[in-house]
Structures are given as structure tokens and as C-alpha cells.
Amino acid sequence: MKYKLVAFDMDGTLITWNSCWGEIHRYFGVEAMAARNFEAYRRMEIDYAEFMRRDIGLWKPRPHISLIDKILSNFELAHNVQEVVGEIRRRGYFTSIITAGIDLLAQRVGKKLGIDIVVANGLAVDEKGYLTGEGILRVDPSLKHEILEKIAKELNLTLAECVAVGDSRYDVNFIRSAGLGVAVGGDEELAKAADVVIQDFKNFPQLLLYL
């Protein structure tokens, strides 16, 4: 078996939402302000920790973590994902989610799909469960390859034995670092970096021929 680990991005890859952060912004009606935060991050005026801090600060009144969990409970898996991941697991591969999304959702998606390892960002809360305004940075979206390398080492694997699956320009380093890089959807920048490009997971079973 050439590959032994298949690592997935989450937002826009395993689930239909392009951004779980965006779903929370939509609930609080702060999409426009959040877009300005994203532009500041994209222009590298702020780092991702500050980006999370600014985004979380938009959610007012300061919410309880249970409300965030409820908002994120309405996710939908991307078409055919459950079947595809199930087949990958039946074939004996390790599986992982590496996402800059929120761990409340990532853990739920991981449990539903039977994913082995989930790494995602968190939301700090006080002793009563209310958000403090701080994020817990575990995954910078542009540095997912560093998390993949760490997971591979923990499993005594090389990056050449890993498959990385993502959907956006922020997954370029992620899929380039793996032995097989898979781009899902129509992001042209990501497609240029990928070994394989598919439009959605209806086409993913053919990739099992590569595994």
C-alpha cells in the first residue's frame, strides 16, 4: 500500500459550508465586518490569531459556547463523503481532519465519519462557558502542511505516504506537501498545485485506484 494516511480539510471539502466561521457571522449579522477582518488577514496586516480574536469579538452579546455549538449543529456533509470516507477506512488507511475551522464542529464531523485524528481551532471560554473573546490557535490555514507532517511523524509515516485533500488556495502548501495532493472544486490556484482535481466526491472513488 503506497499511501497510508488520507488527510482532509473540512470546510468546503467534507461539509457543504465554505466557512463554519461564516455561518456564525451570518447568525449574528456581522458578515460585512468579518469580511474586512478577512481582508486584513489576506493582506498579511494581521496574523491568524488576531484574525480569530477580531472575528470572535464581533459576536455580541458575548455568547455561551452552547449557542455556538447549536449554530454549528446544522452542517451538512458534502455529497458522497460518508461513503467515500467509509471505503477509505475499510481499506485500512488512517484518516485525519486538519482544519482552521472550529473544533466543536470538526469533532462532530470526525465522529460522524469515523475519522482517526482531528485537529482544529478552538474558542476560549470562562468558568461559566461564555466566550472570552480569545481563540485557541492550532491550525493556521496556510500552514496545514506543518500539522500533516506532525501527524505523519506520530504515525511513523513519511509525507510521501500521505494524501491531502482540500478545496481552497489556503490548501496549496497542504496538498503540495503530501505524496498525493487532491483538489476538490474549482479553485484554479489549488488545481495548479494538485496531482488530481475532482469537482466533488461523486468522482472521488476513482481516486481509490491511486491509493
- Summarize pLDDT for 6-24 with one digit per residue, the tens: 999 999 999 999 999 999 9
C-alpha to C-alpha distance for 95 and 119, rounded to whole angstroms: 12
- Mean of the pLDDT values across residues 144-166? 97
Percentage, residues of the chain above pLDDT 70: 95
Q: What rounded mean pLDDT belongs to the chain? A: 94
Residue 59 located in a structural domain: no
- Mean of the pLDDT values across residues 61-83? 96
- The answer, as to whether pTM is greater than 0.85, is yes
127 pLDDT band (50/70/90 cuts)? very high
What is the total count of domains within the chain?
A: 1
Residue 32 located in a structural domain: no
Residue with grid cell 472550529, as numbered in its chain: 102
- CB–CB of 139/98 below 8 Å? yes
Domain encompassing residue 10: 5-19+74-209
- Summarize pLDDT for 83-103 with one digit per residue, the tens: 999 999 999 999 999 999 999
* Cα-Cα end-to-end distance for the chain: 7
Residue 44 located in a structural domain: no
Residue 64 located in a structural domain: no
Q: Kindly report the three-state secondary structure assignment for every residue of 70-82.
A: HHHCCCCECCCHH
Residue 46 located in a structural domain: no
- What's the pLDDT at 190? 96
Residue 10 located in a structural domain: yes
Residue 178 located in a structural domain: yes
Q: Is the pLDDT of residue 71 over 80?
A: yes
Cell of 118: 482531528
Residue 30 located in a structural domain: no
Cell of 161: 505516504
The CATH number of whichever domain residue 102 belongs to comes to 3.40.50.1000
Cell of 24: 456564525
HSE at residue 131, side-chain half, CA atoms within 13 A, is 24
C-alpha to C-alpha distance for 202 and 73, rounded to whole angstroms: 24
